[in-house]
Amino acid sequence: MTMDSMPTRGRKRRRNGGVGPGLRDFPTFKAVSYLVFVFLYLPLVVVVAYSFNSNRVVSVWRGFTFSWYSEVLGNDDIQRALFNSLRIGVVATIVSVVLATGLAIGLLTMARAGRTFAWTLIGAPLIIPEIVFAIGTLALFVQSRIPLGVNAITLAHIAFCVPFALLPIRARLRGVDPAVYEAAADLGAGEFTIFRRMTLPLLAPGIVAGALLAFIISLDDFIVSYFLAGPGGTTLPVYIFGMIRNAVTPGVNALSTLMLVASILIVSLSYLLARKRR
C-alpha cells in the first residue's frame, strides 16, 4: 500500500461510515446517545465540582474554594503515596515497553501458527478478571517469599503493562512495509543498523504511545496494588480508598480530580502521538 493512497481511504471510510439517510428518522436514538454521555460523565462532574466545595460535608454546597487542593498537596502521606505511584509507574513503564518492543519484533520471526497462538496468549491478560491476576500474584509472591511492597507491585505492574504497551507497538509494526527492511539491507545496512535506523524510528510513535498507555494503566491500578501493597507500599489509589473508608471528604474529591486531569493529559498525548505520522 502506498502512502498517498491512505488519505483517500480515510475519506471513503468517513463517507460510508455515516448514518444512512433512513436512520435519520429515528430521533429516539439521539436521545439515547445523550443519556449515555450523561450517565458516563455525571460522576466525574460531581467529583470535580465538589472538589471546590468549601463545606466539610461533601454533599452540601456552600461556596467555592481551592483549600482542599492545598491541603491534599501538603499532606505527607499523600506525597509518599504519590511518590510510590510515580516510582512504580515509571519503572513498570520502562521495563514493560522494552519487553513489549522486543516481543513484538521477536514474534515476527516466529512461524505463522506459533505466532497467532503467542499473540492470543499475550492478549489474554487484557480480558481476564484483574482480581484473579491479583490473587494469583499474591499467592505466588507469598509462596516464593517475595516481600510485599513497592517492589512487588512494580513486578506485577510490569507483567500486566506488557500487553497494553504491546497494542500500539504491534499496530505500528504491522503498518510498516517489510520491503523497507529489505531495501535498507540492499543499500548496505547490517542487522544492527537496520534496527537503529529503520525499526526503532518507525516504531517510535507506537513505543511512545505504548509507554503512555502502560504508565496510565500502572498509575490507575487499584486491585493488584491493594493486594500487594504491604507495609509502606501504599500507592495513590490505595491511599484514596483508605480515605473514603471513614468518610468521603472534599479532599478525596480534590485528589481524584488531580488524578483525572493527569490521566486525561497522558491519554490525550498518547492519542495525538499515535495519530501523528500516519
Partner 1 sequence: MCLTSTISEEPLDASAPALSVRDVTKTFQTPEGGQISALDSVSLDIADGSFMVLLGPSGCGKTTLLRCIAGLESPDSGRIDLRGQRIDNMPVWRRRVNTVFQSYALFPHMTVAQNIAFGLQMDKVPGDIIKRKVGESLDMVHLSGLGSRKPSQLSGGQQQRVALARALAKEPEVLLLDEPLSALDLKLRRGMQSELKRLQRETSITFVLVTHDQDEAMAMGDQVAVFNDGRIVQVGEPREVYLRPCSRFVADFIGEANVLTGALDTYGLVIESVGFVPRDRLMPDTQAALGQVHVAVRPENVSLQLDPVGSAKIIDVSYVGGDMRVEAVAAASGTAVNAAVSIVSRVPSQGVQPPRIGDRVSVSFAEGSLTVVAD
The piece of 38-46, 161-169, 194-202, 217-225 that touches partner 1 (CB under 8 A) is: 194-202
Q: Candidates 198, 240, 248, 258: give the one binding partner 1 (CB under 8 A).
A: 198
Contacts of 41 (CB under 8 A, 6+ apart): none
N-to-C CA span, the chain: 13
Among 22, 33, 63, 112, binds partner 1 (CB under 8 A): 112
Which stretch in 65-73, 119-127, 163-171, 173-181 sits in contact with partner 1 by CB under 8 A? 173-181
Residue whose C-alpha cell reads 483517500 in the numeric block: 8
Which residue, 159, 160, 174, is CA-closest to 206? Answer: 174
Which residues are CB-contacts of 228 (< 8 A; sequence separation ≥ 6)?
134, 137, 138, 141, 148, 149, 152, 153, 156
d(CA 90, CA 63): 38
Candidate ranges 24-32, 45-53, 155-163, 186-194; the one touching partner 1 (CB under 8 A) = 186-194
- 77 vs 177, which CB is nearer to partner 1? 177
Among 24, 62, 197, 275, interactor with partner 1 by CB under 8 A: 197
CB of 176 to partner 1, least distance (A): 8
Residues that bind partner 1 (CB under 8 A): 2-4, 112, 176-177, 179-180, 182-190, 193, 197-198, 201-202, 277
